[in-house]
Amino acid sequence: MKKITMSVAALSIAVMSYGQTTQCKSLTKDSVQCKNKTTQVLCYLHNPNYNSNSNIKATICIGTTKKGRKCKNKTKNVNNLCHLHTKKD
């Protein structure tokens, strides 16, 4: 099992190094778009799965409620949106 975990980690590192960098899609506390570059949708700060080998930390959902307040739900989703704010295709 350890071997599988290692190869998955190596693979994701390889994929990340090949990918083109784009600007992180997440927002900072001031609701400004994050300026970190990332090969994924979210930078390491905003992507809870960035170092997924160890413990995945839940982050606060970046969605807003109907009243325009920040959602307080915690999420482990890559898009930083809780189950309420994750749009299903």
Chain residues in the site for Zn ion (CB under 5 A): 24, 26, 34, 36, 43, 45-46, 61, 63, 71, 73, 82, 84-85
CA dihedral of residues 33, 10, 77, 88 (deg, nearest 10): 100
Nearer to Zn ion, 52 or 85 (CB): 85
Tokens 């980690």 — which residue? Answer: 9
**Partners of 70 in beta bridges:** 64
**Partners of 37 in beta bridges:** 23
Nearer to Zn ion, 8 or 44 (CB): 44
Q: Which two tokens stand for residue 59?
A: 């982050």
Compute the least distance from the CB of residue 8 to Zn ion, in Å.
23
Compute the least distance from the CB of residue 1 to Zn ion, in Å.
32
